[in-house]
Structure 1
């Protein structure tokens, strides 16, 4: 009895480990601290929809906290364009001046990058087209808070009335304070670019022409259930077209105690030669879909490609250099973890070093294994038995008829 009690915890422990049917390894982190992991298609396919079963473990088997991050469609970046500094002049205990070129037709602000300085500074701004005759632009400018607690320099934006001078000169008042160290002068432009989606590669694409219905049907299959958020069509003919498109999957339902298969609509849109051929659709999680195009009396569309995309998801976690980390997922019973780290998600930068998940392996479950048919289950064996039985019956019937005739 004592031995059974000892073995029970081990049995349950093995069951707990076995419930994660997918494993992977993280590439090595180069520094200690927060990192970003972009989730591959396979991980999302093998995991629960909400990733409640995703876990990270260190080399000692201890869980590593993380949170899931979605990023916006647009990636906003700041680009610093440096202006050419023509000259720097310092008059001891009086003033310091900088002349720089204006690269634009008109200008109304620029950015000074200043080395950390404890104090404030007043200045004047003037403009010229020949660097000989100068005209006032800003007479009583002031800079304050010239230090950054986390860095060695600070950027300060100077705004002034719009002008078109080729050269600008800024003169700092150094009579009652030490001069400041201006590292560079330039402008910061805010750019927004579309964040790249993650491509999903189909396993097969089969096209059928439904002549009676005047439709084209494209059956697309994936190796596993995939998350699809966007579809792109590349049409090469005809030149002009306007077609209704429906995406659906085959599903089953019970109607009047009978199970029937029906087309479950997933998305609907229109292909038009004058619009972009990229469509954002309600999220699809399927391993088999059908794309049905309504042709009416027009010629069929010819595609060079149909591409599928999903919005990327990221795991944010803290990793240590020279430490080995593994991941596990693929459990229908696992509950979403609750880590303290997720409380600070809004304070964590999106600009983080990244690592990847490699060597993804999914263990085959009983449902995945192809069941081996026994000899008696094979069709040829069953038909052989039927034929042999029939011959035996005919043999006995013929003998019976012979015996009856003799009587």
Structure 2
């Protein structure tokens, strides 16, 4: 009986979780493939799960789409030429590669031999191998054990650039070097548009003089994916350790303890780029803590949050109206369009999502009702529900008599 009750609770919870949102795509000027950028609001409504997303035409027929950062199994890996690889014992390993294509890039894939180590790294760029300019600093590379085989691939991101040479410096002070076997890009990886600013967060700055830290507390109405944090700081010379934390509940028997869990850490430095790339930050509330030590707090003028854009590609008709829907009861779709992703060009026209909003239950209408939407299905559920209640009631009475 307890197991059956648990199943009922899970089912009720699932229904309670269901969320529906919809928006419109209008003013299509030409027929053909279009790029449709998903706004932070759309992605937050889907909780970053695009299995919940559907596109419908005016006749409520499903319109196929494909996510533009799709990476199929048949794509070809193009390795960059490694100009040099130097290791200084107990210090750093520096790897310099050449971007022979001259194209703008913001990522590459590392082929790494299996290791249980976690590595800190920095990336810089140059056009002459003399004057180097910082791109990212003190980032973390972890989870380097492959599920199969003796090597794995890791994608690392950095600000968009077209430097002819790029250098990765791995920190080897606490462990031996890792085995980077190749660095390159997949053929179908292309440069996305500029990061989208996420403007829904508010933040407040708190100075903790006892702990000698500056706390910046962010909050929003729901979880949003954050990939880049940009700082505007007027202090001239600084180098501060910082970390991103969130409140976590630790349950131990009957007690619940709340603590600050560390999501990631980074270095804020006047020598480096003020845009910090972060991983796995998808929160409703989080805090940035900056270690001041015996220094005065940083003079922070502004902080902006960004996310890397996600675009879907779909074939749209001229002057047609489309509806985009987020429904948490949907499962992952499978469309033929995904088989042609490698032939897509980047310069295709764009569609824009407008009037995106939550759908109230009273608004949900359908021209053709499914069986589960009919009165017959409702009465079947009522009868079955009554039977379940009666079963538990008689079982409870029987247990009371036995006692």
The bucket for the TM-score relative to the shorter chain is 0.5 to 0.7
**Partner of 1:63 in structure 2?**
62
Aligned residue number for residue 205 of structure 1: 203
Tell me the CA shift for residue 285 of structure 1. Answer: 0.8
> Is residue 43–residue 49 contact of structure 2 (8 Å, CA) maintained in 1?
no
Aligned with 1:234 (options 232, 242, 245): 232
Give the aligned length. 233
1:122 aligned partner: none
Alignment map for 1:27-176 (pairs within 5 Å): 27-70=26-69, 76=103
Residue 338 (structure 1) aligns with: 334
Q: CA deviation at 1:222?
A: 2.0
Q: Which of 321, 343, 350 does residue 324 from structure 1 map onto?
A: 321
SS in 1 for 2:42: helix
Whether 1:355 and 2:342 are equivalent positions in the alignment is no
Structural mapping, 1:274-285, within 5 Å: 274-285=271-282
Deviations 1:231-284 (A, max 9, x none): 1111112x2111110111112121244222121211200111111111111131
Once the 2 structures are TM-superposed, how far is the Cα of residue 76 of structure 1 from its aligned partner?
4.2
| Contact kept in structure 2, 1:20 and 1:328, CA below 8 Å | no
Question: What is the deviation of 1:193?
Answer: 8.4
Change (3 A) 1:20 1:220: closer
Provide the rounded CA distance (Å) in 2 between the counterparts of 1:37 and 1:195.
12
Identify unmatched segments of 5+ residues in structure 2: 1-13, 72-100, 105-189, 362-403
Query: Is the Cα contact below 8 Å between 2:249 and 2:257 reproduced in 1?
Result: yes
User: What's the CA shift string for 1:102-145, capped at 9, x where partnerless?
Assistant: xxxxxxxxxxxxxxxxxxxxxxxxxxxxxxxxxxxxxxxxxxxx
Query: Tell me, what secondary structure is at the counterpart of 2:222?
Result: strand
- 1:75 offset after TM fit, Å? 10
1:254 to 244, 251, 255: 251
TM-score by structure 2 length? 0.54
C-alpha distance 343-280 of structure 1, shift in aligned 2 (>3 A)? same
Q: Once superposed, what is the RMSD of the aligned Cα atoms?
A: 2.6
Sort the Cα spacing of 1:250 and 1:19 in 2 relative to 1 into closer, same or farther, 3 A. closer
Q: Which residue of 2 aligns with 1:286?
A: 283
Q: Distance in 1 between matches of 2:311 and 2:323?
A: 16
Q: Choose 1 or 2 for highest CA Rg.
A: 1
> For the Cα contact (< 8 Å) 1:71–1:313, is it kept in 2?
no
Name the CA distance, whole Å, in 2 between partners of 1:245 and 1:228: 17
Q: Structure 1 residues 71, 236: CA separation in 2 closer, same or farther (over 3 Å shift)?
A: farther
Change (3 A) 1:50 1:351: same
TM-score by length of structure 1 reads 0.54
SS at the partner of 1:35?
strand
1:27 is displaced (CA, Å) by 2.2
Identify the residue that residue 403 of structure 1 maps to in structure 2.
none
1:210-225 residue pairs with structure 2 within 5 A? 210-225=208-223
Could you list the runs of 5+ residues in structure 1 that have no partner in the other structure? 1-14, 78-191, 366-407
303, 326, 344: which one aligns with 1:306: 303
Matched residue SS, 1:52: helix
Written as runs of structure 1 = structure 2, the 5 A alignment for 1:165-204 is: 195-204=193-202
| Superposition map of 1:380-395 within 5 A | none
User: In structure 2, what is the Cα distance between the partners aligned to 1:70 and 1:199?
Assistant: 19
